[in-house]
Structure 1
Amino acid sequence: MSSLTSDTELDAAAVDELRASFRGELVRPADAGYDQHRKVWNGSIDRRPGLIARCAGVADVRAAVRFARERELLVAVRGGGHSFPGLSVCDDGMLIDLGPMKGIRVDPDAGTARVQAGTLLGELDHETQEFGLAVPSGIVTHTGVAGLTLGGGLGWIQRKHGLTIDHLQSVDVVTADGEFVTASEDHNADLFWGVRGGGGNFGIVTDFEFRLVPIGPYVVAGPVFWPMKDAPEVLRFYRDWIADCPDELMTIVVQRRVPNLPVIPPELVGQHVVAITACYAGPVEDGERVVQPLKNFGTPVLDLCQPKPYLTHQQTFDASFPHGWHYYFRACDVAALDDEVIDVVAEHGSRIVSPITSIALWQMGGAIARAEESATAFNGRQAGFTFNINGNSMTADGFEAERQWARDYWTALEPHHTSVYVNFLMEEGEERVRQAYGADKYDRLKTLKRAYDPTNFFRLNQNITPA
């Protein structure tokens, strides 16, 4: 791949030619706004593309792809910019930025929504909740719809309604040669299978059509906190409590130091805690009954689990993951929360130093596990739990120590690893990508990659090389 430098007349002339037919904005390193538009969510990533193409629509996306392909440029594609390893920006090449493409059209009668690729989860929630509906999606509202969906889409109502991809009805895709195709169960079904979990390997998805589900406007949701020293007892209770819980109940276990937020009593800030955050995707009165044993267990230091608007709950973790901090993740799936896993969780949680380092242990099962395993590229539907281990710091100071903490935690869990959620990977190499999909699906994805992107034009992702 070539670089698009800023010091040749040829490059300047080429960009001017593109600009003449480009409805969006083209930003070069010397232009105002360049530093703003090249930044991504993870502040530890600092890359400088040669050209940023901020697309206003599909025509711009096609033009940008053709431009980059003709000049053999390295290409990064950004929706919301939340790629953990920063794969939504590159050095020297071309950044195709879908951020301006934020169109959302909700059809409440049909129960569907058409969503452009620059949309963020909170923006989609805002439109769908107007009608008491939602797309099952993630837990941080400034995450992009596109990247979350293409990797699978975990979220607060997944056990009742399944993954985000389980509600995807069709996609519009710009392929590596700049062609426009639509994929669904009935049209380009092979491509539709692949984009449901296979990430951005096969093209740039510009539009998504989702089937909506009813939710809210109020849900019973929120965290209950206990001192970290109580973690073994809390987790053993938790394991038993969720053993036969209804699909409407979704939980995430969190370990961290208590953040300094308006809802937190000052005397708790900085204390090591284990928290169980619940969300009940059903009637409020049923939710209050189901979560009562959680609220009654042991001696919580804080209980914020209560009826609240679904929109409010969706924002619960936003303040813990703002733009610009330094983030590092290790992840794995495990089959069960057995005593050995609980011991690892208790031990490593007590070693947290940074005020923003944490783990999230996602409860799986329910509708996720009942869906047909072979229907989509997503792998790991039979996982019991998914670990997301965050070694984070606000700046570069102390970041390496937090990264090492995350690695040590992950290594201690290694005897229990089953698979891994592809959206939680850093840049970890081909073997880890293979683990995310399993051998059979990985081989099928490689064949699909050869059909739609034989030169691996779209390579800045959790990359699947062509067969």
Structure 2
Amino acid sequence: MSIDTAKGILGDATIAELEAGLRGRVVRPDDAGYDQARAVWNGAHDRHPALIVRCAGTADVIRAVEFARSQDLLVAVRGGAHSIAGFSTCEDGIVIDLSPMKGADVDPDGRRVVAQAGLTWGDLDHETQAFGLAVTGGLVSTTGIAGFTLGGGVGWLLRRHGLASDNLTAAQVVTADGRVVRADRQEHSELFWALRGGGGNFGVVTSLEYQLHPVGPQVLAGLIVYPLEEAQQVVTGWRELTRSMPDELTTLVNLTTAPPLPFLPEEVHGTRIVVLAGMYAGDPAAGEAAVGPLRTLGTPLADLMGPMPYTGMQSMLDPLWTAGAHNYFTSAFIEPSDAALGAVLRHHLRTPTPYSELHLHQLGGAFARVPAEATAFSQRDPGMLCNVIARSPDATDFDAYVAWARTAREEIARHGHGAIYVNFTGDAAEDKVRASYPGAVHERLVRVKDTYDPTNLFRLNQNIRPSTAA
């Protein structure tokens, strides 16, 4: 059956020719598995691509890119498919699906791993923790490694070892013209600079090489839960503690609603709470002194901070972040003044659903010691990152929930310099992209875009438009 697209009609023979050149497979709209294949983690994006190419390897990616270019198709690239902004799916275009590509080659002596782009953080942690090694990964283990890393990569090892992108040592990339290049500090060095924070603007990254670090298998990590009435003292007290925390300890505050979990008193289920979460990336015994003050900021409703497997902390939040719900994220880098924290706490009182949250991520440490010009991720001030999340089980009133998040972000962002974290942003807005890649950084990214994707084939991202399209 021929397929209509916005650019014309793809005939059976054309699609058959594509499929004949693949080791993977093509999923068409009339195939039995199409609805499953087109679904992404974020249920807010219900789109119908004309074709989904499930790639078995780099050769399939090359073929898919060449086909998309020859047929003038809109291109979405999918790794883990969390798709906060919907970039890993599209209407009436082609999805280049990397999820079958799950190889990982760990070099324990050199503390390196070469990881294919279809891996999730749960997959990669499984491979590297066999050797007691890790790199900064996602806060939810079902997150894909590729999109996470290309946008920066904030996780529990941020203060000890920096962003995921700070630990990227090389990447294999299929460019818009179908070439395969290796980008590192020696080869295609400008592309390598751009990949570390510039997102998927420059090609399809098929594998990533990371520097690994000794972590685990046991770490000191977990949650401490406080009641709403102690929110101000807990959050301001936490801020003061962050000024002198060791780099081994990375923490965040989650302003949320208490789920009906057995470790929480039944009377607080469904009420607003304050959760301190953190991980000490060092000797768990030495970490007790560092996390001890977190326990004294108020009267804990629950204290789940203790020794646990590193993979346990990496996947602890998974049950609360299952696929299919509607999600909208927006973010701001802020200075944690009293006024800024007050704005965050006010919007906590206005969260529109029990699933909507505000997160305050501690920065600093190794993250802040990377020179701003070293990578495309240039927001290195040791302040905080606020993530505002509107989340709902379905589409009912979701637009109103998104409006709450946008209003909250607008007020909170006044206490920073206007930049977003591109991985925590549900809008593709040029003004926010410009704010996140200021001045010379944006100009340099445009030059890289001009070199590797001058026609903007890869535009489903926080887009750096080439100069010909500016």
TM range (shorter): over 0.9
Measure the CA separation in 1 of the matches of 2:267 and 2:285: 32
> What secondary structure does 1:225 align onto?
strand
Per-residue deviation, residues 290-324 of structure 1 (Å, max 9, x unmatched)? 11111122211111111111110111221222110
1:138, distance to aligned residue in structure 2 (A):
1.4
Counterpart check, 1:287 vs 2:287: yes
1:405, distance to aligned residue in structure 2 (A):
1.9
1:417, distance to aligned residue in structure 2 (A):
2.5
Give the number of equivalent residue pairs: 463
Equivalent AA in structure 2 for residue 274 of structure 1: V
Q: Give the 3 Å change call, closer, same or farther, for CA 197–396 of structure 1 in structure 2.
A: same
> What secondary structure does 1:114 align onto?
strand
Measure the CA separation in 1 of the matches of 2:60 and 2:295: 52
Counterpart check, 1:316 vs 2:316: yes
Measure the CA separation in 1 of the matches of 2:9 and 2:277: 57
Residue correspondence of structure 1 range 153-168 to structure 2 within 5 A: 153-168=153-168
Counterpart in the other structure of 2:131: 131
Counterpart in the other structure of 2:196: 196
Per-residue deviation, residues 183-204 of structure 1 (Å, max 9, x unmatched)? 1001110111111111111100
> Is the contact between residue 380 and residue 420 of structure 1 (CA under 8 Å) also seen in structure 2?
no
> Is the contact between residue 352 and residue 404 of structure 2 (CA under 8 Å) also seen in structure 1?
no
Measure the CA separation in 1 of the matches of 2:232 and 2:223: 18
> Is the contact between residue 99 and residue 118 of structure 2 (CA under 8 Å) also seen in structure 1?
yes
Per-residue deviation, residues 140-188 of structure 1 (Å, max 9, x unmatched)? 1000000001011110011011111111111111000111111100111
Counterpart in the other structure of 1:413: 412
> Is the contact between residue 344 and residue 358 of structure 2 (CA under 8 Å) also seen in structure 1?
no
Q: Give the 3 Å change call, closer, same or farther, for CA 4–170 of structure 1 in structure 2.
A: farther
Counterpart in the other structure of 1:350: 349
Equivalent AA in structure 2 for residue 360 of structure 1: H
Equivalent AA in structure 2 for residue 368 of structure 1: F
Per-residue deviation, residues 83-110 of structure 1 (Å, max 9, x unmatched)? 2111110011111000000001111111
Counterpart in the other structure of 1:330: 330
Residue correspondence of structure 1 range 64-143 to structure 2 within 5 A: 64-143=64-143
> Is the contact between residue 228 and residue 350 of structure 1 (CA under 8 Å) also seen in structure 2?
no
Measure the CA separation in 2 of the matches of 1:314 and 1:19: 37
> Is the contact between residue 264 and residue 301 of structure 2 (CA under 8 Å) also seen in structure 1?
no
Measure the CA separation in 1 of the matches of 2:10 and 2:234: 64
> What secondary structure does 2:442 align onto?
helix
> What secondary structure does 2:403 align onto?
helix
Q: TM-score, structure 1 length as denominator? A: 0.96
Give RMSD over aligned pairs. 1.5
> What secondary structure does 2:221 align onto?
strand
**5+ long unaligned stretches in structure 1:** none
Q: TM-score, structure 2 length as denominator? A: 0.96
Residue correspondence of structure 1 range 15-414 to structure 2 within 5 A: 15-335=15-335, 337-414=336-413
Measure the CA separation in 1 of the matches of 2:42 and 2:429: 20
> Is the contact between residue 41 and residue 323 of structure 1 (CA under 8 Å) also seen in structure 2?
yes
> Is the contact between residue 4 and residue 93 of structure 1 (CA under 8 Å) also seen in structure 2?
no
> Is the contact between residue 119 and residue 145 of structure 2 (CA under 8 Å) also seen in structure 1?
yes
Displaced runs of 4 or more, over 6 A: none
Measure the CA separation in 2 of the matches of 1:405 and 1:154: 24
Equivalent AA in structure 1 for residue 109 of structure 2: D
Equivalent AA in structure 2 for residue 423 of structure 1: N
Equivalent AA in structure 1 for residue 272 of structure 2: H
Counterpart in the other structure of 1:13: 13
1:427, distance to aligned residue in structure 2 (A):
2.1
1:243, distance to aligned residue in structure 2 (A):
1.1
> Is the contact between residue 224 and residue 277 of structure 1 (CA under 8 Å) also seen in structure 2?
yes
Identity %: 47
Equivalent AA in structure 2 for residue 402 of structure 1: Y
